[in-house]
């Protein structure tokens, strides 16, 4: 059993518990539930840099990245740096995040916020909306085509953008549908954790142009972005690179200035 399988098993238990504690009606009454969303896809289309900066405390592959940052400061710093959007990891067991991190980020910036989570149930999409997210992530590796369709259409009904993540050609072919806004290529092999930018280059040619192309994982320098831009990528998800420094916002600012 690989790490993704273990995460999904734990996630099913977690969602079952959360559903028993907080009914859907309570999520729908949240102050943020009626908030107008900001489109990450539109921001990326209009940007020459396309940086989506991540708040990430730790990961199964890297253990602790940074436990000392305050989400409020990170979100504010990223916004000042001029990023296109912010990704907030809300998984607790494996990544040390929480829905409260999303809430804090929403209170501290006007960036489009991506709930970075292992979504296996519509309930999590309602949570995303109730806690201030503008975008959800769907991971093709853990979902059937029917689930991708169901979840993406449900997200669109709540005016949320949808970023679908793939790792290979098979996942891409089962996933392409009109209810997606962005297609993300994860350069990390989830079984070995090895990172290879060639994955993005290869899959880019198979992604129809109506979707915003996003490259994820292993983007730690300007050269990587310059290499991928000619392949049609408009979005670049960067987490570790900024989070492992003393000041994530400043680090993002210098990175973007150098990119320009």
Q: Which of 14, 79, 127, 165 is catalytic?
A: 165
Our answer to whether residue 149 is catalytic in this structure is no
**Identified catalytic residue from 43, 108, 217, 241:** 217
Greatest pairwise CA separation for the chain in angstroms: 49
Q: Which of 11, 108, 116, 129 is catalytic?
A: 116
Q: Are 135 and 152 in contact (CB under 8 A)?
A: no
Catalytic residue among 108, 186, 241, 251: 186
Active site residue 116: yes
Which among 216, 241, 251, 253 is annotated as catalytic?
216
165 is catalytic: yes
Is 186 known to be catalytic? yes
Q: Which of 11, 56, 129, 234 is catalytic?
A: 56
Per the annotation, the verdict on 56 as an active-site residue is yes
Select which of 14, 54, 127, 171 is catalytic.
54
- The catalytic site residues sit at 54, 56, 116, 165, 186, 216-217
């Amino acid at each position: 059993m690989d790490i993704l399988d273990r995460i999904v098993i734990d996630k099913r238990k977690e969602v079952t518990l959360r559903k028993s504690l907080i009914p859907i009606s309570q999520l729908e009454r949240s102050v943020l539930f009626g908030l107008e969303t900001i489109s990450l896809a539109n921001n990326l289309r209009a940007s020459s840099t396309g940086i989506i900066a991540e708040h990430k405390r730790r990961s199964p592959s890297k253990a602790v990245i940074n436990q000392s940052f305050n989400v409020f400061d990170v979100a504010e710093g990223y916004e000042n740096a001029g990023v296109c959007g912010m990704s907030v990891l809300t998984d607790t067991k494996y990544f040390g995040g929480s829905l409260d991190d999303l809430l804090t980020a929403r209170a501290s910036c006007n960036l489009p916020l991506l709930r970075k989570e292992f979504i296996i149930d519509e309930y999590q999409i309602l949570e995303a909306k109730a806690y201030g997210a503008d975008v959800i992530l769907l991971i093709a590796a853990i979902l059937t085509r029917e689930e991708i369709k169901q979840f993406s259409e449900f997200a669109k009904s709540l005016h949320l953008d949808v970023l679908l993540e793939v790792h290979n050609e098979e996942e891409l072919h089962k996933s392409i549908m009109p209810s997606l806004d962005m297609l993300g290529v994860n350069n990390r092999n989830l079984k070995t954790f090895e990172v290879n930018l060639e994955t993005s280059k290869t899959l880019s040619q198979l992604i129809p142009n109506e979707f915003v192309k996003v490259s994820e994982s292993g983007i730690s320098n300007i050269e990587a972005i310059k290499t991928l831009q000619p392949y049609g990528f408009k979005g670049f998800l960067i987490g570790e690179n900024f989070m492992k420094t003393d000041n994530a916002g400043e680090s993002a600012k210098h990175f973007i200035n150098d990119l320009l």
